[in-house]
Amino acid sequence: MRHVFGPVPSRRLGLSLGIDLLVPKTCTMDCIYCECGPTTDCRIERDSFVDPAVVLDELSAFLADGPRLDFVTISGSGEPTLSSDLGRIIDGIRRMTDARVAVLTNGGLVTDPAVRSELAKADVIVPSLDAVSPEAFERVNRPHTSLHPEAIVEGLVALRREFSGEIWLETVIVAGINDSDDEIALIAEAVRRIRPDRVQVNTVVRPPAVAGTEAVSSERLAEIATALGPTAEVIAQPAGGAQRRVDGAEQLVYDMAARRPVTVQDVASAVGISLAESAKLLGTMTDAGVLEVVRHGGMLYHSAMARKGEGK
C-alpha cells in the first residue's frame, strides 16, 4: 500500500491507521524538529496529489482483515490540508468504518474557510501552534513567506467557533528557541482565545530535520503545561499495541520507517510481537540494507533506506 500505513501506536490516538494524501515532502512549513525530514516543496497552493479512489481502495483492503482501530488519522509526509481531496477522503472513511477520524495539521491553512469546512468533517483536529511571536515562528517553523502567526491564531479561533468536534492543540517546544517565559505567555494567551479541548505539550523526540535541534527537559515541559492552563498535558509515550500480530511485518516496518524513524518499541507495538522479536526483525532488515540506524537523544531509531529504482 502506498497511501495507507500502519497501524501505528500513537502517543495520542491509540492504535491509529495513517493515511497519506501527499507526495513527500510537501508542506506549508519546514519545521526544524520535523521527524519526516526537510520540506522539499514548500507551498500554500492546494492540489490533488494522489487518486482518492486508490486511497479508499487501500483502506477498504486493510479494513477487511485489519485489527480494530481507535482512529483513522490523516497525516503522513507533509501538510494534509494541502490536499484538495481532504473532504472527499473523510467522507469515504466514514462510509467504511466507525473508527474516529483525526487530522493532524500545522494550522497554516486554517485561515481559509474552505479548509476549515473540510476539516470540520473529522472527529478530532490536531493543529499545531509552536510559536506566536514572529521571531520564534520563523525559527521553529520556517514557514512559507505568506504565513503569519497572528493570522493562524485567528484562523484557529474561527475553527473553534465553527467546529463542534474536539480540538487538541499541540505545541512542540524546542530548547533555546520557543521555551522562554515570554513565548510561553504568548502561547498561553492564544490558548485562552482558541479554547481547545486539550493542549498537548511535546518536544523533540525522534531525529529532527535539522541536526542540533534539542529537546527541553521533562521538568520544563511540566512547567510549560502548567502555564498553558488546566487542559494542558505533557504527551506520554505510547502504551499497549496492536490487537493481533500483523502479517507482512517487514513491509509494515518499512512503510512506518519510510515516514518517520521507529524504535524497537514502536515496531513491537505495531506488529504485535515481543521486544526481542522486534529487535531481531530490525536487525535483519538493517543487515540487509533496508533500514539504517540513527542515534538520537540516547536512543536508537531505524529509518528506511531508499529501495533500488526509487528516488530518495
pLDDT at residue 293 in the model: 86
**How far apart, in whole angstroms, are the C-alpha atoms of residue 3 and residue 70?**
19
Under a CB-based contact definition with an 8 Å cutoff, are residues 194 and 147 in contact?
A: no
What is the DSSP secondary structure assignment for residue 257, as one 8-state letter? H
pLDDT at residue 296 in the model: 79
pLDDT at residue 206 in the model: 82
Assign a CATH topology to domain 249-304: Arc Repressor Mutant, subunit A (1.10.10)
pLDDT at residue 9 in the model: 67
- Residues present in the chain in total: 312
pLDDT at residue 67 in the model: 81
CA atoms within 13 A on the CB side of 259: 22
Phi-psi domain of 76 (left: phi exceeds 0; alpha: psi -120 through 50; beta: other): left
Q: What percentage of the chain carries pLDDT values higher than 70?
A: 90
Taking 70 as the pLDDT cut, the residues of the chain under it are: 1, 9-11, 236-247, 272, 274-276, 297-298, 306-312
Under a CB-based contact definition with an 8 Å cutoff, are residues 174 and 144 in contact?
A: no
Q: For the chain, what are the domain ranges?
A: 4-234, 249-304
Under a CB-based contact definition with an 8 Å cutoff, are residues 18 and 76 in contact?
A: yes
Which residues have CB under 8 Å from 25's CB, separation 6+? 36, 37, 38, 39, 40, 41, 77, 78
CATH architecture, domain defined by 4-234: Alpha-Beta Barrel (3.20)
pLDDT at residue 240 in the model: 39
pLDDT at residue 276 in the model: 66
